[in-house]
Every structure is written in structure tokens, then in C-alpha cells.
Amino acid sequence: MLNKKLLTLACAVGILVCGACGMFDRPLPPPMTLFVGIHTVRVVVTNKSATHQIDADGVQQAIIKELNMPSNQTHMRAVPDGDADCTLSLDILDEDARKSIQDPQRDGALWSFRALFSTILTGKDGKPLWAKTKWPYESNFGFYRLHGRDITNAWTEPAFRKEFNESLASQLVEELLSK
């Protein structure tokens, strides 16, 4: 019985010593180096898809808002136009939306969205600093309280557009800031 208590005590002390000192904590992410010396970034979004359903202006505004968030600690300012230290260009290459489930009993519908993007960050001199080509993006969105209404073009629904733009911007900025 005493051996079990001593073993339990030894394990508890080991956990406290190793865990409390941070010995097994995950390593910190590498410091952001991509935007060193950059004070302004111009964001340009174009829709080159055949269907032109995604609102390029809405995506641009969401990216600018995300880059300018104080929590990103980039110490730079994102702008929609004008002179800047670098330019972030995002091209919408393809887009697709399909209803996957219509549920009249729950007064809702589930849609699947797919898009393909290409993005590049170029310096003032035109030199590429970072690129992500043929970047696939997928999203599902549930529409509820439709009151019998059938959604025929989910890209035009304001609630979805807002969530899509914000989620896309968040993922893109997270990717950029980890470089």
C-alpha cells in the first residue's frame, strides 16, 4: 500500500515539475518575417471565374479588415488602392455552390461551396514575396428559418456572403502571418 502511495506521489511530482515548467509545451510559432519593413499593403481582388458569383469587393474588404485587426500585431495598414509597400492580389479562379440537403421539416437547407483561388504578394519592385496558387477552399453553410422559401442562388444570401468572406480572409491572413 505504501509503495502505491509513493509511486502516485512520485508521478504527481513528475507531472508538476515537467508540466508546470513548460518543458512539454508546444514550441512558439516562428516570428513573422514576411512583413518586416512593410508599412502598407494594397489588397486587390478580382473574380476571373466564369460565373462571377463571389463578390470581389466584399472579399477585398474582409481581407483589409482582417489585416488591420489590432490582434494581428503586424504594425502595417492594409488599403484598397493607392501607393503601398507591397500588393496582395487574390484571383478567384473558379466557384461552385450546390444544395446538398433540403429539409422542409426543419425549415432549412444545407449548401456546399467550393472555390479556387490564386494569391500572390509582390513587393513594390514587382518581385514576388509569397504565393499560393490553385488554393482550394471549401465551406458548408446551413440556411434555417426559410419559411418554405427555396434558395436558388446561395451566393446572393447576405448571411452566407458575410461568413464566407470573413472565413476566407481569416484563413488567408493566418497563412500570410505565419510566414
What pLDDT digit, counting tens, does each position of 68-80 carry? 988 777 778 999 9
| Domain housing 140 | 34-177
Domain-embedded: residue 11: no
Domain-embedded: residue 122: yes
- 48 residue type, one letter: K
In 3D, which of 90, 98, 86 has the Cα closest to residue 62? 90
* 144/151 Cα distance (integer angstroms): 11
The single-letter DSSP state of residue 174 is H
Q: What is the pTM of this model?
A: 0.77
**150 — pLDDT class (breaks 50, 70, 90):** confident
pLDDT above 90 (res 40): yes
- Diameter over CA atoms, the chain: 76
Q: State the pLDDT at residue 169.
A: 95
Using alpha carbons only, how large is the chain's radius of gyration in Å?
A: 23
- What digits encode the pLDDT tens for the residues 69-121? 887 777 789 999 999 999 999 999 999 999 888 777 777 888 899 999 999 99
- 99 residue type, one letter: K
Q: State the pLDDT at residue 25.
A: 56
Lowest mean pLDDT of 32-36, 95-99, 110-114, 123-127, name the range.
Answer: 32-36
Q: How many domains does the chain have?
A: 1
Q: At 6, list the grid cell.
A: 509513493
pLDDT above 70 (res 42): yes
Domain-embedded: residue 17: no
What are the start-end ranges of the H helices in the chain? 2-20, 56-67, 158-177
In 3D, which of 173, 79, 96 has the Cα closest to residue 130? 173
Domain-embedded: residue 167: yes
- HSE at residue 67, side-chain half, CA atoms within 13 A, is 23
- HSE at residue 115, side-chain half, CA atoms within 13 A, is 26
Domain-embedded: residue 148: yes
CATH of the domain at 126: 3.30.160.150
β-sheet bridge partners, residue 77: 40
- What digits encode the pLDDT tens for the residues 130-145? 999 999 999 889 888 7
pLDDT, averaged across the chain: 83
